[in-house]
Amino acid sequence: MNQNVSRRRFLTGAAGTAMGVVGFPYIVGSAALGKEGSVAPSERITMGCIGVGWQGGSNMGQFLREKDCQIVAICDVDKKTLQGAVNTVNKRYGTQDCAAYTDFRELLARKDIDAVSLGLPDHWHAIPAIEAAKSGKDIFGEKPLSHDFREGRAMCNAVKQYGRIWQTGSWQRSQAHFRFACELVRNGRIGKVHTVEVGLPSGHSDFAKTAGQEQIVAPPEGLDFDRWLGPAPYTPYRPALLPKNWRWVLDYGGGQLMDWVGHHVDIAHWGMGWDNTGPLEIEGYGEYPQDGLYDSPTRYRLTAKYPNGVTMVIAGGHKDIRGGTKWIGDKGSVWVSRGDLGRSVVTEPGDLKQGQIGANDIHLYESPGHWRNFLDCIKSRQATITPCEAAHRSATPGHLGRIAMWLGRKIRFNPETEEIIGDPVASALLGRAYRSPWHL
């Protein structure tokens, strides 16, 4: 906060000095002073984007729409992607000022950047986020929060220690119908909840149309593949891995389970008020490919026990669990998924969703828009709608579920100490070794 205030005071002072010395602000243009519908530099948030290949590029586009946010730097390990993003930014502002980097540490070293948007593969979530917090940047980071459990806790600790604002890309919380469904549950409209069902996708979607292209070849020109690998184990380049299908390889992603816990499990937690707790035990099974590069489960089912006797079932590829989030209580149920209120909230009894959330009822955080909420919170220094701790807790059943599936046994967990109980082998799987020279 002090960095932002100091920068704004400096810019305001500089504008005043220009007026006083020459009597006319020919050095500082009217747009820079906030006239003609623009935003004054003292109120403008400067941003760097690290990773702009897919979701990161989409987030960059969202921030380009906000008048009080100015993207000043881009970082990506693929020079073609990098240049395309820089060109987009420069075209938007009508300048050639956006800087390009291939090493995120150079971008983070800049003192004139207030915030960063991270759009990186899962295995690259933790290190840049922690370094960004240390460098005084506020952070918009993608879900799942982390690639493993210990990374998530380290990220939350860094955000808290350095007083940073964090927003997770779990944008469903910023949608009115998801909030409404959660408010129905939180206000007891379905009575005491005993079961939560979370339906996620299954299989390996071929996003990049490269599935099966597992021959070892030279990386495309301009791609620093070794830097892309970073802390993950070394592997030679294969087209089936990049650009988008890395998520099906457990060294880099977590399959459909971890791709989606930050959405529908996050909503399940929001509806139950579980942003600061987690399961007491979890067990399950997954169906894993027997050969080939992709090794994440294609079909899976997890059953977790939460405090107060609530059971959560998380499943992908099972017809009895509908995609989305469903809370089941002793007086009815609420199901919600993507889409508008009319077709994406289903209640039992049916007229339940026609009711209103009264003035004296519980009202959940109302966001003006997910990216807008982040910028507003940078200015106010108030928590975002998807802070780091909530994202870590939403990912926890996914991390523990992966361990339960790998070991084929029930995992018992203490959500207060965040320790696995009585199972040293399972505890060791909460984290992973990094490839030198990278470290957490």
pLDDT level of residue 342 (50, 70, 90 thresholds) = low
Q: Are residues 135 and 182 in the same domain?
A: no
Contact 113, 47 (CB under 8 A): yes
- Domain membership of residue 127 (yes or no) is yes
- Bridge partners (DSSP) listed for residue 139: 116, 166
Residue 102 sits in the same domain as residue 31: yes
Q: How far is CA 151 from CA 51, 179, 269, 411, in A?
A: 19, 28, 20, 19
The percent of residues above 70 in pLDDT, for the chain, comes to 90
For 346-388, what is each residue's pLDDT tens digit?
999 999 988 889 999 999 999 999 999 999 999 999 999 999 9
Mean pLDDT of 53-61: 96
Asked which of 124, 143, 171 is the last residue of a domain, the reply is: 171
Stretch 279-298: mean pLDDT: 97
Q: Is 218 within a domain?
A: no
Task: Find the length of the chain.
Answer: 440
User: How far apart are the C-alpha atoms of 146 and 192, rounded to whole Å?
Assistant: 32
**pLDDT tens-digit series, residues 139-161:** 999 999 999 999 999 999 999 99
Q: How much is the average pLDDT of 84-106?
A: 98
What is the DSSP code (8-state) at residue 69? E
Whether residue 82 is contained in a domain is answered as yes
378 occurs within a structural domain: no
Domain boundary among 120, 153, 171: 171
Identify the domain containing residue 346 by its residue range.
Answer: 173-207+245-367+387-428
Higher pLDDT, 343 or 204: 204
Indicate whether 162 and 197 sit together in one domain: no
Amino acid found at 198: V
DSSP string over 285-353: EEE--SSSS--S-SEEEEEEEEGGGEEEEEEES-TTS-BEEEEEETTEEEEE-SS-HHHHEEEESGGGG
Would you place residue 41 in the very low, low, confident or very high pLDDT band (cuts 50, 70, 90)?
A: confident
- Residues 182-238 have pLDDT tens digits of 999 999 999 999 999 999 999 999 999 999 999 999 999 999 999 999 999 999 999
Instruction: Summarize the confidence of residues 21-34 as an average pLDDT.
Output: 37
Sheet of strand 138-141: strand arrangement = 99-101, 69-75, 45-50, 115-118, 138-141, 166-168
Q: Are residues 289 and 424 in the same domain?
A: yes
**Same domain assignment for residues 134 and 190:** no
Within this chain, do residues 56 and 198 fall inside the same structural domain, yes or no?
A: no
Range 298-313 average pLDDT: 97
State whether 154 and 261 are in the same domain: no
The structural domain count of the chain equals 2
Half-sphere exposure of residue 127: CA atoms within 13 angstroms, side-chain side: 20
Q: At 183, is the secondary structure helix, strand, or coil?
A: helix
- Flag the least confident range among 36-50, 161-175, 343-357, 381-395: 36-50
Answer yes or no: are the C-beta atoms of 168 and 144 closer than 8 Å: no
Q: Is 229 within a domain?
A: no
Residues 194 and 149 in one domain: no
Q: What is the mean pLDDT of residues 112-131?
A: 98
Higher pLDDT, 37 or 152: 152
Q: What CATH number does the domain containing 267 carry?
A: 3.30.360.10
Residue 23 has pLDDT above 70, yes or no: no
pLDDT of residue 101: 98
Q: Return the closest-CA partner of residue 149 out of 386, 410, 374, 440.
A: 440
Q: Is residue 234 part of a domain?
A: no
pLDDT of res. 24: 30
Q: Is the pTM of this model over 0.85?
A: yes
User: How does residue 281 score in pLDDT terms, banded at 50, 70 and 90?
Assistant: very high
What CA–CA distances, in Å, run from 362 to 183, 185, 358?
Answer: 7, 10, 8
Per-residue confidence band for 37, with pLDDT thresholds at 50, 70 and 90? low
Q: Could you report the per-residue pLDDT of 241-269, keeping only the tens digit for each? A: 999 999 999 999 999 999 999 999 999 99
Please say whether the beta carbons of 283 and 303 come within 8 A: yes
Do 392 and 348 share a domain, yes or no?
yes
- Flag whether 222 is in a domain: no
CATH number at residue 17: 3.40.50.720
Q: Are residues 81 and 184 located together in one domain of the fold?
A: no
Do 186 and 159 share a domain, yes or no?
A: no
DSSP string, 349-382: SGGGGGS---TTS------S-HHHHHHHHHHH--
Q: In percent, how much of the chain has pLDDT > 90?
A: 88
Q: Is residue 157 located within the same domain as residue 8?
A: yes
What average pLDDT does range 5-14 have in this prediction? 39
- Residue 104 domain-assigned (yes or no): yes
Label residue 43 by pLDDT band (50, 70, 90): confident
| Per-residue confidence (pLDDT) for residue 38, from 0 to 100 | 66
Nearest CA-CA partner of 175 in 336, 374, 380: 336
**Whole-number mean pLDDT of the chain?**
92
CA atoms of 124 and 132, how far apart (whole Å):
13
Average pLDDT over residues 13-41: 42
